[in-house]
């Protein structure tokens, strides 16, 4: 039998117009769910950028107590240099710390102005021969006289990653709930469309229209809702991403904000693919239950 | 053309027996009345022939196809060989006479030029050429039934199944409808008609298959009369 794409498209359009409100709700649900899927991907990629810089950095910052004497400082430096695990030790004075700080937050004058050399601690920057020795070295450092606090980038990375994981899990749960809602809503509009056309369907079956001939308009209708939803979600996501990058580059210019275009394209493709699955699933659900052909 | 062999149909939900051990053989071109009180399985038998229902036991052949083993995707092609007429016409209220008939051809993928050639022809045959642009609610009951006959016959099916086609019509209109069915039968189309209309059966004297409650065939008579309850 000849397929008639124009006929199916026309029927699908009539169905959609008949139930504009329900169709709009279904599209909105697809849009929202896809927006959250997309945001999750972007957020994940962004923090991956941020933490990648630190991941292989096995530097330890050992901050000196403000009341540590000069002799305590040099004794500590000599001792640490002798450890086998340690590759290099650099002393960062209060003044050097301030210079670094000024450089790092160059754009944020208010912040720079509020800080003086006194408020920043002097520190040893220690790099290791073997990254896996980090916990042991950290423990030993904490016992050295004059050292107040020991911080490694690894810990910071882990802390950030923990936050990101929680944030992403939250976004993902939201996305899953919205995906389910989208499937239900698409399925419901299809069900209504089937109901509105039950007489036509009865006649079609009677005179021997094939099952696929009867199904196609409804599948197209669902697909259309899915694609419109995905398109809207991608547009909104791009706008939000642009605004977020603008905002972050003003307030947190030290963050690497570039997300590669290929990743954005990949995310967009994933969103379209998922929304087609949602629409297909929703349509199939109703076709199976209510279109007994 | 139609053949039932020891067919039993039991509805699964309520265990009701619709047909019990029915064997019937209808040749091509026959005109057969199916009579019997309500609940004697007439409608069930018609539904078995279009594979809307499947038999619980026994075998059915329609238009050369054995229905028990017919795969479900082939059912639409079976139905293209069978026209259906109902007591309530089943016309689409928002489509004109022409569109209602054309719909039957369009949805089985007939090309436009075939549709625009065959629909006027069949409307001429049923005597509704001048009402092609009317909506069903603008027609009398008899005219509506003619539209539904046009729709059932426009694809020139081998078999016409009619489920009480005159049930909603007055006697005079019914005669007109029966003349039309008779004409269609004379073109070689096999007609099987379930009916309660005593006058029609008695005046036409065609083969009569009588059923009784419980779904048994109790009479199969050539050139028969309505018989029961008379």
CB contact (8 A) between residue B78 and residue A208: yes
Last residue of a domain, one of A92, A122, A152: A152
**Together in a domain, A251 and A184:** yes
User: At residue A287, does pLDDT exceed 90?
Assistant: no
The rounded percent of chain B whose pLDDT value lies above 90 is 90
Q: Chain B: residue nearest A197 by CA?
A: B92
* CATH number (domain holding residue A103): 3.30.70.3040
Q: Long-range CB contacts (< 8 A, 24+ apart) of A75-78? A: A75/A145, A75/A146, A76/A124, A76/A144, A76/A145, A76/A146, A76/A147, A77/A124
Last residue of a domain, one of A86, A117, A152: A152
- The domain tally of chain A equals 2
**Together in a domain, A145 and A222:** no
Nearest of A179, A262, A265 to residue A226 by alpha carbon: A179
**Together in a domain, A39 and A66:** no
Among A200, A209, A211, beta carbon nearest to B73: A211
Last residue of a domain, one of A97, A124, A152: A152
Distance CA A215, CA A211 (A): 6
- Least confident piece of the model among A244-248, B58-62, B202-206: A244-248
B window 183-202, beta carbon within 8 A of A: none
**Together in a domain, A50 and A172:** yes
Nearest of A34, A7, A26, A18 to residue A224 by alpha carbon: A26
- The highest-confidence range among A61-65, A74-78, A186-190, A231-235, by mean pLDDT, is A231-235
**Together in a domain, A76 and A50:** no
Whether the CB-CB separation of B173 and B129 falls below 8 Å is answered with no
- The highest-confidence range among A158-167, A179-188, B17-26, by mean pLDDT, is B17-26
Tokens of A71: 């002799």
CB contact (8 A) between residue A207 and residue B79: yes
Length in residues, chain A? 293
Among A7, A202, A206, beta carbon nearest to B79: A206
Query: Among all chains, which residue has been given the structure tokens 């039932």?
Result: B4
What are A213-247's pLDDT values in tens digits? 999 888 888 899 899 999 999 999 999 988 988 88
What are B122-181's pLDDT values in tens digits? 999 999 999 999 999 999 999 999 999 999 999 999 999 999 999 999 999 999 999 999
Continuous segment of H or E residues that includes residue A148: strand A147-152
Main-chain phi, psi angles of B29, to 5 degrees: 85, 0
Continuous segment of H or E residues that includes residue A61: strand A60-64
CB contact (8 A) between residue A208 and residue B76: yes
Count CA atoms within 13 Å of residue B210 on its CB side.
16
pTM equals: 0.73
**Together in a domain, A34 and A163:** yes
Among B72, B73, B107, beta carbon nearest to A207: B107
DSSP one-letter code for B139: S
**Together in a domain, A201 and A261:** yes
Residues with Cβ < 8 Å from A244, sequence gap 6 or more?
A: none
Q: Is A114 helix (H, G, I), strand (E, B) or coil?
A: coil
Residues of A with CB under 8 A from a CB of B: 1-2, 4, 7, 199-200, 202-211, 213-214
**Together in a domain, A32 and A122:** no
Q: Give the gap in angstroms from C-alpha A13 to the nearest C-alpha of chain B.
A: 17
The four Cα atoms A126, A127, A133, A138 give a dihedral, to 10 degrees, of 20
**Together in a domain, A141 and A126:** yes
CB contact (8 A) between residue B90 and residue A1: no
CB contact (8 A) between residue A203 and residue B80: no
Distance CA A125, CA A111 (A): 24
**Together in a domain, A102 and A176:** no
Q: Chain B: residue nearest A209 by CA?
A: B108
**Together in a domain, A75 and A30:** no
The rounded percent of chain A whose pLDDT value lies above 90 is 16
Whether the CB-CB separation of A25 and A92 falls below 8 Å is answered with no
The range of the structural domain enclosing residue A84 comes to 59-152
In this predicted complex, what is the ipTM?
0.90
**Together in a domain, A99 and A233:** no
Nearest of A290, A289, A238, A285 to residue A26 by alpha carbon: A285
């Amino acid at each position: 039998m000849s397929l008639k794409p124009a006929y199916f498209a026309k029927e699908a359009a009539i169905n959609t117009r008949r139930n504009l409100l329900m169709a709009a709700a279904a599209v909105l649900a697809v849009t929202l769910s896809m927006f959250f899927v997309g945001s999750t991907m972007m957020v994940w990629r962004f923090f991956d950028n941020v933490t990648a810089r630190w991941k292989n950095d096995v530097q330890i910052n050992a901050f000196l107590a403000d009341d540590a004497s000069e002799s305590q400082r040099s004794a500590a430096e000599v001792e640490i240099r002798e450890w086998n695990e340690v590759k290099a030790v650099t002393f960062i004075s209060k003044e050097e710390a301030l210079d670094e700080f000024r450089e790092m937050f160059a754009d944020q004058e208010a912040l720079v102005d509020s800080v003086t050399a006194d408020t920043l601690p002097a520190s040893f920057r220690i790099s290791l021969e073997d990254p896996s020795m980090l916990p042991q070295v950290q423990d030993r450092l904490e016992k050295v006289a004059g050292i107040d606090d020991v911080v490694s980038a690894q810990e910071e990375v882990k802390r950030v990653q923990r936050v990101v994981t929680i944030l992403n899990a939250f976004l993902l749960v939201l996305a899953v709930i919205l995906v389910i809602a989208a499937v239900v809503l698409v399925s419901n509009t299809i069900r209504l469309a089937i109901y509105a056309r039950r007489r036509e369907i009865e006649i079609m079956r009677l005179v021997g229209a094939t099952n696929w001939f009867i199904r196609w308009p409804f599948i197209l209708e669902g697909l259309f809702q899915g694609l419109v939803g995905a398109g809207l979600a991608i547009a909104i996501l791009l706008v939000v991403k642009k605004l977020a990058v603008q905002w972050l580059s003003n307030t947190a210019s030290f963050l690497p904000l570039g997300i590669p275009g290929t990743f954005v394209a990949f995310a967009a493709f994933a969103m379209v693919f998922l929304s087609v699955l949602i629409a297909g699933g929703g349509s199939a659900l109703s076709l199976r239950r209510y279109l007994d052909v | 053309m139609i053949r039932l062999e020891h067919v039993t149909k039991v509805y699964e939900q309520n265990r009701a027996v619709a047909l019990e051990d029915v064997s019937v053989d209808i040749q091509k071109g026959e005109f057969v009345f199916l009579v019997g009180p309500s609940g004697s399985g007439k409608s069930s038998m018609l539904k078995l022939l279009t594979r809307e229902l499947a038999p619980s036991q026994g075998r059915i052949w329609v238009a050369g196809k054995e229905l028990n083993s017919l795969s479900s995707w082939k059912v639409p092609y079976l139905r293209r060989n069978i026209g259906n007429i109902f007591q309530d016409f089943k016309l689409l209220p928002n489509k004109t006479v022409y569109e209602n008939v054309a719909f039957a051809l369009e949805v089985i993928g007939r090309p436009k030029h075939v549709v625009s050639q065959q629909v006027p022809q069949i409307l001429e045959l049923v005597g509704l050429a001048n009402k092609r642009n009317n909506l069903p609610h603008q027609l009398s009951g008899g005219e509506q039934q003619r539209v539904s006959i046009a729709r059932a016959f426009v694809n020139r099916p081998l078999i016409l199944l009619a489920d009480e086609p005159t049930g909603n019509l007055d006697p005079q209109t019914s005669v007109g409808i029966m003349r039309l069915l008779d004409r269609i039968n004379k073109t070689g189309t096999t007609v099987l008609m379930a009916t309660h209309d005593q006058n029609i059966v008695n005046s036409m004297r065609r083969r009569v298959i009588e059923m009784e409650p419980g779904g048994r065939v109790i009479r199969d008579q050539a050139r028969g009369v309505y018989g029961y309850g008379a």
